[in-house]
Structure 1
Amino acid sequence: MKLVCKKSDLITGINIVMKAVSSKTTMSILECILIDATEGEIKFTANDMELGIETKVEGEIIEAGSIAIDAKIFSEIVRKLPDNDVVIEVNDETKANITCENSKFNILVKSADDFSYLPEIEKKDKITLSQFALKELIRQTIFTVNDADKNKILTGELFEVMGNRLKVVALDKFRIAIRNMELKEDYGNFKVLVPGKSLNEISKILNGGVDDEVNIYFTSNHILFEFDETKVVSRLIECSNYFDTDKMISNDYKTKITINKKEMANCIDRATLLIKEGDKKPVFLTIKDTEMELSINTFIGSMDESIPIVREGSDMMISFNPKFLIDILRVLDSEEVNIYFTNPKAPCFIRDDENSYIYVVLPVVQ
C-alpha cells in the first residue's frame, strides 16, 4: 500500500475517527485506526465495539492496500510533521513508512484482517434531519444523561419517531429533558435508546449546517448516522422498559411565571459563588406579586436578589439544586422562559407554548 495525503486531510480524518478508539481495552486492535485503500478511495475506521466511525480522506492511492495502525502513535506523528504532503507506504504487513519532507518514521502495524469492521446496517427505518437540528437536539438534552449510572436506561436518550414527529427524551433521577420536532415527512413509528456517549461524540463531528443533512437509520440493535463523508454506527440500549414520561408531565399548575432567561441564569450563577464543591445547598425561589426573590444561605455567607416577573396564579416558595436550573437555562435560545409550579414538593415544568421543549425538575424538599 502506498498513499499520498495532505497533512491537514490526515488530521481531519484522524480527529473524526479517534472518537471511536478504545482507551480502556486489553485488545490492542481496538486501539488502532484501519487505513483502507482497497476500493478506490481512502477510508479511516475506528471501532471500540460500542461505537464505530468511518470517514473518507482525500488523497492519492499509488498502491492499494489496507493496514491497522496504532491510533495514538499515528495521530501524534502526523501532528508533528511539517505542513506538506505525507507519504504512507507499507511493503509488508508488519511495518509502515510515514514520510514528510526530511522526516521518516518506520512503525509497527497490524494486519487489517484482525480489525473489527463496522456492522452492515439495513437501511429500512430512516429519518432525515439537518445537521443543525440534530446537534441542537443533542445539546439541549445531553446534560441530563449520566454515562456512569448503574441503571443502563439512564445512560441513553430515547429517540421516538411517531409519523412526522420526533421526540427525544433524556432523564436522570432528578430531571427530565424532552425535545419535540416536526419531520418533513411521515416515517412510521419506532423508538430506540441511543447511548449518551455516542451522541456526545457525534455532536462533536457534526458541522451544524442548516442545509447539510444527516440520514439516521434504525435497526433493533444499532443506529447509523450518515453525513458528509462519514458514517457513525452505535449499539443501542434495550428500551422496552423505558419510562412513560407522558405520565410524569402535567398541564395543571397553581403558579406560572414568565422571566428573562439571562437574568435568571446570571442570578443563579452569582448565588453559586457561595457554594463549596460538594456542598448541596439549594437556592430558594420566593414568588410574590411581580417579583421572584432568589436567595441562598451557606457556610460561606448569604445572598438574595430580586428579578421582575410576569406571574399568573398564587404566591409560591420552592427550592432547587441551582445546577439543575442553570443547566436548562444555558441551553435555551429564547429570551424569556415560562416556568410552571404546582406546590413546593412537586416538580416544576419549563416549557414553551408550542411544547417544542419540556424540562422537568424535582425540588429540594426541606
Structure 2
Amino acid sequence: MKFIIQREQLIASVQDVMKAISSRTAIPILTGMKIDVRHHGITLTGSDSDISIESYIPAEEAGIVHVENIEEGSIVIQARYFPDIVRKLPEKTVEIEADPNLKVTIRSGKAEFNLNGQDAEEFPHLPKLQTENSLSIPTDILKSLIRQTVFAVSTMETRPILTGVNIKLENNTLSFTATDSHRLASREVPVNNAEIEFSNVVVPGKSLTELNKILADTEEPVEINVTNNQILFRTKHLYFLSRLLDGNYPETSRLIPEQSKTVLYVNTKDLLHTIDRASLLAKDERNNVVKLTTKSNQVLEITSNSPEIGRVAEEVTVQSLEGEELRISFSAKYMLDALKTIDYDDVKIEFTGAMRPFIIRPTDDQSILQLIVPVRTY
C-alpha cells in the first residue's frame, strides 16, 4: 500500500474521523484508524461502536489531484499519534507506505516516521444500510435542527432515552425534539415528497453534537437512512453512522400548554442580555434562578437575589404585554440556552401561570418551540 496526498486534505479528513475514535474502547483495534487505499481515492474510518465515521478523499475532483502514486491496500494506523504527526509535517504533501509486515512509513520533506500498523482485516466492517428508503435535506437545515434542540437533552443516565433527540418524519414534516424533563426544545421543517415515515427514532445527543461539528455550512444535501437500531447520515464524502437509543420516547406534545394567561412580545437580544446580567449574582446558586415580574407600561422587571452576595434588578421594555400580571422564577441558564438558539429578532413568550411551563417562540415562526418549567421559590 502506498500513496502521496495533499496534507491539508488529509488533516481535514483525519480530524473528522477522530471524532469517532475513543481510547477507552473495549476492542483494541478500534483505538486505530483504518486507511483504505483504492485507485479512485482514500477512505479513512474510525469507530467506537456507538458512532462510526468514514471520510472519503477522491484521487481527483474537479480537475484537482488530491492523491497520486497510488498502490492499493489497507492498514490500521495508531490514532493516538497519527493526527499530531500529520499536523506537524513540514511539506504540503505526505507520502504514506505500508509494507507486508504492517510497518507504516510516513514521509514529508526530510521528516520520516515509522509506526507499527495493524491488519485491516481485523477492523469491524461497518454495516451498509439499505439506501432505498432515504430522506434528503440540505446540510444547513440539518445543522440548525440539531443546534436548536440538542442542548436540551438530559445529561443524566437515569433515563437513558432522554439523553437523545427524538426524530420524527410524518406527513412530510421532519421534527426534532429534546427534553431533560425540566425543559423542551423542538423544531420542525417541511420535507418534500418523503417516501418514508418514522417516529420513535432516538439519536444520542453526543452523536448529533459530533455530526454538527463535522458538517460544513452548505446547502449540499445530506441523505438520512434509518434502520431499526442505526441511523446513517451521508454526504458526498462523509458517512456518519450512529446507533439509536433503545426504548420509547415519551409523548411530549401533552406538555405543551394549549392556552395562555399572559403573553409578551420582546426583542430577543434585549431579554437575553438582561437575563445574562441578572444571572451574574446567581451563578453559584444551584439553580441559577432569576425572577421575572410584569409591571405596568409594558415593562418587565428581571431580578436575582442571592442572600450572601446581593441583589440585581433591571427593567426591560417589551413591545407588547397582554393578559394577567405575573411573577415567575426560572433557571437563567435554561432561558439563555433557549434564547441563544432562536435566530430571530423578536420572540413571543406565553405563560399560563407562575407554576406552569411557559413557551418561547420566534414571533414570525411557529416551527421553533422552546418550553421551560419554572422553579418554585419560597
- On whether the aligned pair clears a TM of 0.5, the verdict is yes
Question: Which residue matches 2:344?
Answer: 334
- Within 2, Cα distance between the matches of 1:90 and 1:243? 51
Q: Which stretch of structure 1 is more off in the superposition, 191-200 or 143-152?
A: 143-152
Q: Percent identity among equivalent residues?
A: 36
Matches of residues 195-344 of structure 1 in structure 2 within 5 Å? 195-209=204-218, 211-239=219-247, 241-277=248-284, 279-289=286-296, 290-298=298-306, 299-309=308-318, 310-344=320-354
CA contact (8 A) 2:38 2:70 kept: no
CA contact (8 A) 1:258 1:338 kept: yes
* Residue 246 of structure 1: how far off its partner (Å): 1.2
1:183 aligns with 2:194: no
SS of 1:351's equivalent in the other structure is strand
CA contact (8 A) 1:132 1:208 kept: yes
- Within 2, Cα distance between the matches of 1:61 and 1:317? 71
The aligned length equals 364
* CA shift digits 1:51-97 (9 cap, x unpaired): 00001124125211000001121111111101321110111242101
Matches of residues 1-366 of structure 1 in structure 2 within 5 Å? 1-38=1-38, 40-57=40-57, 58-191=66-199, 192-209=201-218, 211-239=219-247, 241-277=248-284, 279-289=286-296, 290-298=298-306, 299-309=308-318, 310-352=320-362, 354-366=365-377
Query: Which amino acid is 2:31 matched to?
Result: E
Query: Which amino acid is 2:239 matched to?
Result: K
* Residue 118 of structure 1: how far off its partner (Å): 1.5
- Within 2, Cα distance between the matches of 1:135 and 1:170? 15
CA contact (8 A) 2:282 2:304 kept: no
SS of 1:72's equivalent in the other structure is coil
* CA shift digits 1:123-165 (9 cap, x unpaired): 2332111111000011111111134433111111011001210
* CA shift digits 1:205-257 (9 cap, x unpaired): 11121x31111111111111111311101111124x21111111122110000
TM-aligned CA distance change 1:195 to 1:110, over 3 Å: same
CA contact (8 A) 1:346 1:363 kept: yes
Query: Which amino acid is 2:24 matched to?
Result: K
TM-aligned CA distance change 1:7 to 1:280, over 3 Å: same
What is the root-mean-square deviation of aligned Cα atoms in Å?
1.4
Q: Which stretch of structure 1 is more off in the superposition, 77-86 or 262-271?
A: 77-86
CA contact (8 A) 2:263 2:321 kept: yes
- Within 1, Cα distance between the matches of 2:69 and 2:37? 7
* Residue 288 of structure 1: how far off its partner (Å): 2.5
- Within 2, Cα distance between the matches of 1:276 and 1:322? 9
- Within 1, Cα distance between the matches of 2:288 and 2:73? 60
* Residue 101 of structure 1: how far off its partner (Å): 0.9
SS of 1:207's equivalent in the other structure is coil
* CA shift digits 1:9-33 (9 cap, x unpaired): 1101101100100131243211111
CA contact (8 A) 1:222 1:233 kept: yes
CA contact (8 A) 2:135 2:194 kept: no
- Within 1, Cα distance between the matches of 2:194 and 2:122? 42
* CA shift digits 1:179-217 (9 cap, x unpaired): 0111122333212111111100110111121x3111111
**Unmatched tracts of structure 1, length 5 or more:** none
- Within 1, Cα distance between the matches of 2:54 and 2:225? 15
- Within 2, Cα distance between the matches of 1:24 and 1:281? 34
- Within 2, Cα distance between the matches of 1:277 and 1:7? 46
**Unmatched tracts of structure 2, length 5 or more:** 58-65
4+ long deviations beyond 6 Å: none
- Within 1, Cα distance between the matches of 2:196 and 2:231? 16
CA contact (8 A) 1:162 1:187 kept: no
